[in-house]
Structure 1
Amino acid sequence: MEEALELARAKDTKERMAAVERLYHLLEGSRKSLTSSEVTSLVDCCMDLLNDNNFRVSQGALQALASAAVLSGDHLKLHFNALVPAVVERLGDAKQPVRDAARRLLLTLMEVSSPTIIVERAGSYGWTHRSWRVREEFARTVTSAINLFASPELPLQRAILPPILQMLHDSNPGVREAAILCIEEMYMQAGTQFRDELHRHQLPASMVRDINARLEKTEMQVRPSNGMLGGLAAGDRKPVVYNVKKSSPQAKSSSREISLLGGEIDVTEKSIDPIKVYSDKELIREFEKIASTLMPEKDWSIRIAAMQRVEGLVSGGAADYPCFRGLLKQLVGPLSAQLSDRRSSIVKQACHLLCFLSKEFLGEFESCAEMFIPVLFKLVVITVLVIAESADNCIKMMLHNCKVACVLPRIADCAKNDRNAVLRARCCEYALLILEHWPDAPEIQRSADLYEDLIRCCVTDAISGVSMLPINFIL
């Protein structure tokens, strides 16, 4: 990385372009956390490049910072005072790719730190910036944040609604439209209570009529039969509603009120609207689009929406088509790539989808589960607790729902021989799960010697978490 940073300061534009591209790919391909000194060097270099005369250099610097954010831990927070306003300035760049990269970086900073912190810090520059383009793009960034992070982390009344309402008086029509789109998103998340909140601000009657007209159209758009929101692609809005009791007449509105006004809801805890397809060809097109979306270079929020769409298709009856099983196997590679992503929200969504599929298809999902489990082994040892726990729970859920006894030799080998004590302990637990849930499987019957050997190795393991596990086997 040091070499790429040095080349990024070259006088020749082509050398700088090549350097930021190399830097981006190095960070994207790394799973190693950055040190404090590395983060400082990277931020200092990229801050200089943000104002480069060549827009591709500036775009590359923003992309590199987004990739570095997920590797930096708390080190990057020390640079927020300088970094956040610099990124907000790039929202007003003349080139759309730079504006898009700046918006994605702000959303990534929200993911790795706190949406509230970033919105408030960036808002002190963005809400009333002298450039109308910055004001417009920042409003659109906040709209995306509300869609992605709907929770108490984004305090509706205090941090967002007042400046958004002020933008409705902006002299630029693009800013006013961005503001009304943000209000629509708030309404979709918070429900009918949001109208009451609007009334407290004593807006002019003409403005209230205009807002109500837009909100009525929005209300009609959130009830499509195909699982899309108002004809927008899955990457533009996430097609989700929240888990509530269906018997409640206020189910939809009350759940949305909780999301922004009172209780935290995890993205993977949201139930997905069923998506209906009406032919094999239509289903094939759906899966082709999903597979093309689940590429590492695609925006992470779009990939989350694509995985949610798989769940929606299954809920809508797609499994009834003969081609479905073959199409599902084609997603093994793309979904494995999501599991290898460093963003916790991507990994959590992928694990949630695998748990959902294993629960839906049970033994029919066995062949897929066998391919995913070795990939998940790499995650249970990661120091990022959210990722490690998601992977561990996913493996256990698949072992519970699918026999997957064919992976027993691999699990036993890791339990006995892997260098990582955490993985050894986890694999002992997985072996126990297989023994408990599938005692009659032929693979289990043929593996008695393997289990005796496994228990013997566990007893002699120096790690207490591993050596205690054989008691469970015996009991």
Structure 2
Amino acid sequence: MAYNPRDMDGFMPLLSTSDIKTKMTIGNNLISYLGNSDNSIECQDIGLFIDNVIPWLSNGNAKIVQNGLEILTQIADRMGSDFRPYISTIIQPTIDRLGDSKDVTREKARLVLLKIMERGSMTPQQLLDRLHPVFNHKNTKLREEALILLTTTLDEHGADEMALSAVIPSLVKVLSDPNEKVRETAVNTLVKIYTHVGERFKADLQRKHNVPQAKLQLLIERFEQVKADGDLLPSAMSNDVGREFDEPDRVLVAKSVPLKRTKSVLQKKSQFGPSTKVIPSSMGPAGAVDELTFEAAFNDVAIVNIFSSRDLEDQMKIIRETIGDDKKDWNQRTESLKKLRGIIKTVGTSHETFMELLKTIQNSMDGACTDLRSQVVKEACITLAFLSDQFKNKCANFIEGLLASLINLLQNSAKVVATSGAVALRIIFQNTHSPRFIPIIATSLSSKSKDIRRAACEYLSLILQNWSVNILQKHVKTLQEGIGKSIADSDSEARVFARKGYWTFKEHFPEQAEALLNSMDPSCKRTLMSQSNSGSMSSLPTSKIPGMPLRPPAARPTSSAVVRASPGLRSNSAIDLCAARRAHSRMLYANISRSKATTPRTAKPLDTVPVMSPERTPRTKTKYDSFVCSWEI
């Protein structure tokens, strides 16, 4: 019998085999099949396929259980939100595996649940509802893992998407758990909630929950330490300390209700009494990462002692093996990435062999950038940004191979992952300038994801402003095509970045910009020109109407003259082309009047029909004139 079919229907009858060796072979082959994105996951009945995988989770062989969990992770990843109908089938068997005696099995069970949330098949609140009874389960490992999973979910999705107030009594109860490790994990979980909610949560613990005095004192000390270290998240930065803790979906409520009803909805009393406030959008979404997070990580880099080239080689080998092994604990991988930053800071640009050793960990870094753990991805992004900040253009070759993976993070549904990738790319493009980056960014302008296209437009504008012309001119055609495509993008924010990039592109390459302008759709051209500044006036076309130039040659101000005369403002004479036409007409009429005043008048026969001079022929304003005026302005 063949154990390596070519499609999902071929695997279907093999899943129910009872032979352990055969089952392990089929599991490994199926995981390899699903891991290849070129292989289709379509089959006659995907629901039946998933039903046949579920018994693997209760198998007595640990390796088969782990294979079953990994198969479910792969299927959930490939199906995305289409996996939603099968959640009820797999959720409880997966949660049960959180209490397994094997560390690897528990880790893989967590990854199944995290992947389902990441791909949008299940909300964090739905997971919390399932975990709530588990906090009081008789299985010690299950209680501990449920707390760890809640902490991880807070890190990846924030507190705004969960009604945490409902589970606080259960968490308080676990503070007195018989198992020391569970008690410690419960404390860490409550501290994590404090970093997201802030003083309201502390006040609520003191007033409404019967926390043992010793535990309460410990929690308050930990809370104060978090506050002193500046680790409170934007969602916790509320001055409304007196308001009781409640965690309805603040952000989502504000987005979902009509504007005229927002006030009344937000002032509706919650189960804790007082109303809740919407976090200002300027503070950013919960779980998001910003430049300040990266800057803090850059400043908090420990020096690693390197005594010789051999010692450096050994250290880099350990880092490569750790971050490249997804079976290692995620804490080990994040610590290795932090250690790599320490080595970067220690050796600087002075060590000759470091860049060669850096190439050996490129594949491992790529794996870290696409890891299922958001904290690993975040640390990988910080490390790459730090490398760019320290080494500038010297690390261009290394980063080039990882650029596509970083860009792909921008569409991730987990906020911490998407924002980590966005900030890392922004820092990289500011510090590392390489002409080989431009085609990669240009390719992203055609992505199906609007988030990637929008970011690519922003980065295109950024490099046009910051990079030297010598680098840009190597891909002028690519830049020209990319801007032209982005100006017509379906996303409004992408178009704004593209129009901004056009004017910078025009400063560097005026001829190519003029050709691009002439090839644009009239509506795109009109919008672009309406946002022109004084430095872009040379791109305006001249009139084709005989005897009526849009700009009188002797009176047309140059863009530089306008800038010198009125910095930061636009001159009316430089943009009001209809006024220029009227002034030119008045000048012609005045010249005719003066010439007539010096010419003797002759008598005309009474029977002669007066004929208007060709020079005085009245000319009405045509639709063409109106169009030119409005378009030019």
TM-score by length of 1: 0.69
2:73 maps to: 66
1:121 maps to: 130
Q: Is the contact between residue 16 and residue 57 of structure 1 (CA under 8 Å) also seen in structure 2? A: yes
1:404 pairs, out of 413, 423, 434, with 434
| Stretch moving more, 58-67 or 322-331 | 322-331
1:138 matched to 2:164? The reply is: no
1:319 pairs, out of 345, 348, 352, with 348
| Stretch moving more, 250-259 or 177-186 | 250-259
Structure 2 counterpart of 1:115, one-letter code: P
2:230 maps to: 252
Change (3 A) 1:162 1:38: farther
Identity value in percent:
20
| Stretch moving more, 275-284 or 40-49 | 275-284
Quote the offset at 1:88 in angstroms.
Answer: 2.0
2:174 maps to: 167
Change (3 A) 1:215 1:397: closer
2:387 pairs, out of 357, 379, 383, with 357
In structure 2, what is the Cα distance between the partners aligned to 1:151 and 1:331? 35
- The correspondence of residues 238-317 of structure 1 with structure 2, limited to 5 A, is 252=230, 254-255=232-233, 258=236, 264-267=286-289, 270=293, 271-272=296-297, 274-281=300-307, 287-295=316-324, 297-298=326-327, 301-302=330-331, 305-306=334-335, 309=338, 313=342
Structure 2 counterpart of 1:451, one-letter code: V
Change (3 A) 1:7 1:325: same
Quote the offset at 1:190 in angstroms.
Answer: 1.9
Q: Deviations along 1:396-423, whole A, 9 cap, x unmatched?
A: 6534322202555x5599699x999999
Q: Is the contact between residue 157 and residue 286 of structure 2 (CA under 8 Å) also seen in structure 1? A: no
Change (3 A) 1:42 1:290: farther
Change (3 A) 1:353 1:47: same
TM-score by length of 2: 0.54
Quote the offset at 1:145 in angstroms.
Answer: 4.0
In structure 1, what is the Cα distance between the partners aligned to 2:444 and 2:147? 51
In structure 2, what is the Cα distance between the partners aligned to 1:279 and 1:397? 27
Change (3 A) 1:297 1:39: farther
Change (3 A) 1:465 1:316: same
Change (3 A) 1:428 1:4: same
In structure 2, what is the Cα distance between the partners aligned to 1:169 and 1:381? 42
Q: Deviations along 1:145-167, whole A, 9 cap, x unmatched?
A: 455555333544333x2112223
1:76 matched to 2:83? The reply is: yes
2:214 maps to: 209
1:28 matched to 2:35? The reply is: yes
Quote the offset at 1:184 in angstroms.
Answer: 2.9
2:566 maps to: none
In structure 2, what is the Cα distance between the partners aligned to 1:136 and 1:413? 47
Q: Deviations along 1:289-319, whole A, 9 cap, x unmatched?
A: 4322222533684487247625863797663
Q: Which has the higher contact order (CA 8 A, sep 6+)?
A: 1
Quote the offset at 1:45 in angstroms.
Answer: 1.9
What is the aligned-residue RMSD (CA, Å)?
A: 4.9
Change (3 A) 1:115 1:310: farther
1:199 maps to: 206
Q: Is the contact between residue 293 and residue 306 of structure 1 (CA under 8 Å) also seen in structure 2? A: no
Quote the offset at 1:4 in angstroms.
Answer: 3.1
Structure 1 counterpart of 2:305, one-letter code: S
In structure 1, what is the Cα distance between the partners aligned to 2:150 and 2:410? 34
Q: Is the contact between residue 28 and residue 67 of structure 2 (CA under 8 Å) also seen in structure 1? A: yes
Structure 2 counterpart of 1:186, one-letter code: L
In structure 2, what is the Cα distance between the partners aligned to 1:384 and 1:214? 32
Q: Is the contact between residue 127 and residue 138 of structure 1 (CA under 8 Å) also seen in structure 2? A: yes
Unaligned runs of 5+ in 1: 223-240, 242-248
Residue 401 of structure 2: SS of its match in structure 1? helix
1:187 maps to: 191
Structure 2 counterpart of 1:338, one-letter code: A
In structure 1, what is the Cα distance between the partners aligned to 2:155 and 2:410? 31
Q: Is the contact between residue 382 and residue 388 of structure 1 (CA under 8 Å) also seen in structure 2? A: yes
In structure 1, what is the Cα distance between the partners aligned to 2:453 and 2:96? 49
1:233 maps to: none
1:451 matched to 2:476? The reply is: yes
1:332 maps to: 362
Residue 178 of structure 1: SS of its match in structure 2? helix
Change (3 A) 1:462 1:189: closer
In structure 2, what is the Cα distance between the partners aligned to 1:306 and 1:133? 24
In structure 1, what is the Cα distance between the partners aligned to 2:339 and 2:81? 34
Quote the offset at 1:287 in angstroms.
Answer: 4.2
Q: Is the contact between residue 150 and residue 189 of structure 1 (CA under 8 Å) also seen in structure 2? A: no
| Stretch moving more, 320-329 or 101-110 | 320-329
Change (3 A) 1:202 1:394: closer
In structure 2, what is the Cα distance between the partners aligned to 1:103 and 1:13? 25
1:235 maps to: none
Q: Is the contact between residue 150 and residue 189 of structure 2 (CA under 8 Å) also seen in structure 1? A: no
1:45 pairs, out of 52, 64, 68, with 52
Q: Is the contact between residue 339 and residue 351 of structure 1 (CA under 8 Å) also seen in structure 2? A: yes
In structure 2, what is the Cα distance between the partners aligned to 1:462 and 1:186? 46
- The correspondence of residues 412-427 of structure 1 with structure 2, limited to 5 A, is none
Residue 301 of structure 2: SS of its match in structure 1? coil
Change (3 A) 1:315 1:210: farther
Change (3 A) 1:429 1:253: closer
| Stretch moving more, 81-90 or 299-308 | 299-308
Q: Deviations along 1:121-178, whole A, 9 cap, x unmatched?
A: 2323x1333545433443343344455555333544333x2112223455xx23x641
1:103 maps to: 110
Quote the offset at 1:334 in angstroms.
Answer: 1.7
In structure 1, what is the Cα distance between the partners aligned to 2:96 and 2:24? 21
Residue 173 of structure 2: SS of its match in structure 1? helix
1:370 matched to 2:395? The reply is: no
Q: Is the contact between residue 355 and residue 398 of structure 1 (CA under 8 Å) also seen in structure 2? A: yes
Residue 230 of structure 2: SS of its match in structure 1? helix
Quote the offset at 1:255 in angstroms.
Answer: 4.2
In structure 1, what is the Cα distance between the partners aligned to 2:18 and 2:63? 15
Q: Is the contact between residue 147 and residue 185 of structure 1 (CA under 8 Å) also seen in structure 2? A: no
Q: Is the contact between residue 355 and residue 394 of structure 1 (CA under 8 Å) also seen in structure 2? A: yes
Change (3 A) 1:96 1:407: closer
Structure 2 counterpart of 1:266, one-letter code: A
Q: Deviations along 1:27-61, whole A, 9 cap, x unmatched?
A: 33437785697752442122122222323212211
Quote the offset at 1:9 in angstroms.
Answer: 1.1
2:63 maps to: 56
Unaligned runs of 5+ in 2: 1-7, 238-244, 248-278, 280-284, 506-512, 515-633
1:89 pairs, out of 77, 86, 96, with 96
